[in-house]
Each structure stands twice: as C-alpha cells, then as structure tokens.
Amino acid sequence: MDKEHILLVEDDEVFSRVMTHALLHRDYEVSHAANEDEALLLIKSTLFDYAILDLNLGGHTSLGLIAPLKQSNPSSRILILTGYASITTAVEAIKLGADNYLAKPADADEILSALIADTDKSNATAHPEATHLEPMSVRRLEWEHIQKVLNEYDGNISETARQLKMHRRTLQRKLQKRPVAK
Amino acid sequence: MDKEHILLVEDDEVFSRVMTHALLHRDYEVSHAANEDEALLLIKSTLFDYAILDLNLGGHTSLGLIAPLKQSNPSSRILILTGYASITTAVEAIKLGADNYLAKPADADEILSALIADTDKSNATAHPEATHLEPMSVRRLEWEHIQKVLNEYDGNISETARQLKMHRRTLQRKLQKRPVAK
DNA sequence: AGCGGTAGAGACAATATGCCGCAGCCCTTG
DNA sequence: CAAGGGCTGCGGCATATTGTCTCTACCGCT
C-alpha cells in the first residue's frame, strides 16, 4: 500500500528539517510548507492523511488551514503544535476541527503519537499497546524548553529568565549543570 | 418567554451556593447537582439550555455528562469549569462536545460570558491576536506536561511518577498545588 | 487472610530557589 | 571622559521544594 502522506507546516528551519527526517525515517511521505500560502497550494494539489501545523507562522496562525484540509480530506487528522501553548488557543483549535494540540518541546515520537493516537477515550477498548512510548521526564522537558527560549533570545540569560518567569540566578545555576540524559 | 434553565454541577458547597445566587440574580432558572448521579436524574427530567460542569467531582470527571446533555438538548451549551486547568483536559473536554472551558478562579460574569459567548468562527480567520507571544514559563510547562502524562496513564499517580522519573511523593505534592497562572 | 499495587500523609535531611549585594564588562550618550 | 544601563558571574543566606523513608489504609485477586 501507499505511504501515508503528511503535511508539515512549520516556519522554523531547524525544527522542520529534523522533523521531516524523523518522519521520512518512519516511512511517511512528507510535504513541507513554511507559510500559509505554500500550504494552501500543497493542499490543493495533494490529499494528505495527516497534517502537523505550527500554530504561529510569522504573523498569523495556521488555524485557517484546518478548514481547507478537512474539506480536501475529511478523514485527515490534524495536529496543532506550538511553542506558545495556551488553553485558549487549544480550545479554539479543537473547535475549529483540529484533532489534537501539543505544546513544544516535544520529540518526534510524541508528536506522531499525538497525531495518530485515538485520543477518544470513550471507546477505550483493547488498544494495540505497540505505541506505548515513554514520555519525557520533567527535567528533560525543562532543559529542552530552556535551551529553546535561550536560543530565541540569542543567549541572553537575563531576558530568558524574565520570559521564563524564573530568577536569573536560578537560570544561571541550571545552565551550569549538565544537560539531562533522559 | 420562559427563563433560560441552567444546570450547575459542582461539588464545592460554597462555590455552588454563590454561583447559584449570582445566576438567579441574573434571571436564570438554576438546578444544582453535587455529583454525577444527581446530575443525570436532573437531565432526565428537565431540558437545559446551559450547563456549567465542574471538571473534578470528587473522584470522577464530569465529562460523562456531556453526552446525555447534548442528547437531551442538542442545542444546549456546555461550559467546563475547573480549578486544575490544563491543555490536555481542555482538549479532551472540547472533543467530547463541551462548548467552552474555563479555569477557576473566575467570577460569575466571566463564567456566564464563556457560557453564552458566540464562538463565531468567522472572526477566527480575521483575528489578529497573535500578540500573545511569550513562551510558557517552565512551571506552566511542567504542569501541562504532568497533566498530559497523568491523563495518558488514566490518573495513576504512581505510574506517572515512574514515567516522569520523579518521586511519587513529589508528584503527589505538585498535584495538590494549583496550576500556575502563566 | 495474604499479596501486590495504589494513595495520602508525616518527618527530616539534602537540595534548589529566591533574593540580596558586588564587581567586572561592554555599550551608548551627554 | 564619565556616567548610566544592561548583562554576567558569583558569594551568602533564608526559605521552599525534593528525596527518602515510614505508616496506614483501601482495593482486587487468589
């Protein structure tokens, strides 16, 4: 049978490259778009089984892509991914038809399982346990997130600490420690 | 015309009393239930226009009430209210058919407007609102992640602690605290 | 009844964090 | 040039959070 086709809409260079490789490696076919217009073109020409949308693309959100995707293929599954997660946007995304919503940082396995998993617990029958992966530890998650934000602010520790709402001294101390193994 | 009828499902004595009064004062008819069974009885005998459900009722969640409510009156609007808000539970609630999701503390006006608010999708497209661009604090991220994993393991605290590689006692203590505002 | 898993909570030591202050460095600006 | 103003690294100390261990209790199963 054909490979399943995933649409990845993400404006972060590094992340989209890594993610694309991870998906290809898992034997999916991947199309990538860096903005809404590119995405719309792809949606017109191709039928996608899945879509991974970064919520904020430069100026606006990717929520406008949900309708076209569902229209093109009503059985496609859509995952909204964002580094700026909030309950409000999550609620909005789901109402608009997204199938799941995930906060970054998340690794490829998490993303994939959020995309594919049947999150509807009401019919929680015998689940094929094959997809049971272990979640990131809180330490690891914290480390990843700190690195990401730090990078976003060009290594400025003071600014990063403010954004993270933690004390600069605390961030400084955390950074002196080693990255967490797992 | 008749007063609109609201079902309030809430196990906190004080809060439900205050809320009931606030709603009555705004000229709604209010029925109150402190647990799932009471609520189901009321749903069988009455048609509700609105429902305000506290997510955590003692041991269980109130999500099981969504289906009966919608069945009884498909055009009713359902608001999920919780003191332990997280993206995971919000996504789940909306998928199950809730119309909105709100974190406590919230005053009567907030609750009411979340309940009756017109979630018109047309304004979602033009919606600039992308100004909410600050990364999550590490605390908030941690809370969200914990909720997600906990949900994945059906609320099993011991197992979640193991997966998260944190001490069960620590997780236990974290869960007793309130989620971080932002 | 006994076993194994889970949950809640007390107690106390080991760590981590918040919050001070200080000094050194680069900028920009008057 | 001197005076801010922001950033960094770090010492010290009070307070908060964890890790650990221990007990009790509540299932569900055999």
- CATH architecture assigned to A5-130: 3-Layer(aba) Sandwich (3.40)
d(CA A135, CA A141): 9
Interchain proximity B135–A122, CB inside 8 Å: no
Helix (H) or strand (E) holding B51: strand B50-54
Residue type, position A30, single letter = V
pLDDT computed for residue B128 by the predictor: 40
Q: How many CB atoms lie within 10 A of CB B128?
A: 8
If we measure between CA atoms, which residue out of A26, A78, A19 comes closest to residue A53? A78
pLDDT computed for residue A20 by the predictor: 96
Q: Which residues touch strand C (CB under 7 A)?
A: A 166-167, 169-170, 173-174; B 155-159, 168-169, 172, 176
Nearest-CA distance B1 → chain A (Å): 31
| Closest by Cβ to B141, choosing from A63, A103, A135 | A103
Domain coordinates in residue numbering, chain A: 5-130, 138-176
Q: Does the pLDDT of residue A182 top 50, yes or no? A: no
Q: Which residues touch strand D (CB under 7 A)?
A: A 155-159, 168-169, 172, 176; B 166-170, 173-174
- Of A69-73, B54-58, B102-106, highest mean pLDDT: A69-73
Name the pTM for this structure: 0.79
Q: Does the pLDDT of residue B10 top 80, yes or no? A: yes
pLDDT computed for residue A57 by the predictor: 83
Q: Does the pLDDT of residue A72 top 70, yes or no? A: yes
> How does pLDDT run across A132-159, given as a tens digit for each residue?
456 778 888 888 788 878 878 888 999 9
D9 closest protein residue (CA to C1')? A172
Interchain proximity B94–A91, CB inside 8 Å: yes
CB A72 within 8 A of CB A97: no
B133 contacts in chain A (CB < 8 Å): 56, 84
Q: Does the pLDDT of residue A18 top 60, yes or no? A: yes
Q: Does the pLDDT of residue B131 top 80, yes or no? A: no
Sheet holding B77-82, edge to edge: B29-33, B5-9, B50-54, B77-82, B100-103
More confident residue, B52 or A61: B52
* Beta carbons within 8 Å of A129's beta carbon, 6+ residues apart: none
Q: Does the pLDDT of residue B181 top 70, yes or no? A: no
Q: Does the pLDDT of residue A33 top 90, yes or no? A: yes
Q: Does the pLDDT of residue B103 top 80, yes or no? A: yes
pLDDT computed for residue B118 by the predictor: 61
> How does pLDDT run across A84-137, given as a tens digit for each residue?
788 888 998 999 999 999 988 888 988 998 898 764 443 333 333 334 456 778
pLDDT computed for residue B18 by the predictor: 92
Nearest-CA distance B16 → chain A (Å): 24
Lowest mean pLDDT among A28-37, A109-118, B12-21: A109-118
B106 part of contact set with chain A, CB < 8 Å:
no
Q: Which residue in A has a C-alpha nearest to residue B171's C-alpha?
A: A138
| Closest by Cβ to B163, choosing from A61, A63, A134 | A134
* Average confidence score pLDDT of chain A: 85
Interchain proximity B90–A86, CB inside 8 Å: no
Strand D bases near protein CB (under 7 Å) are: 6-12, 17-22
Strand C bases near protein CB (under 7 Å) are: 5-11, 16-21
Residues B138-176: name the CATH superfamily: Homeodomain-like (1.10.10.60)
Nearest-CA distance A70 → chain B (Å): 15
pLDDT computed for residue A104 by the predictor: 85
Q: Does the pLDDT of residue A177 top 90, yes or no? A: no
d(CA B164, CA B169): 12
Interchain proximity A90–B85, CB inside 8 Å: no
> How does pLDDT run across B20-77, given as a tens digit for each residue?
999 999 999 999 998 888 899 999 999 999 999 998 877 678 888 999 999 999 999 9
Q: Does the pLDDT of residue A41 top 70, yes or no? A: yes
Nearest-CA distance A105 → chain B (Å): 9
pLDDT computed for residue B180 by the predictor: 63
Tell me how far CA of residue A163 lies from CA of A143, A171, B121, B136, in angstroms.
15, 11, 31, 8
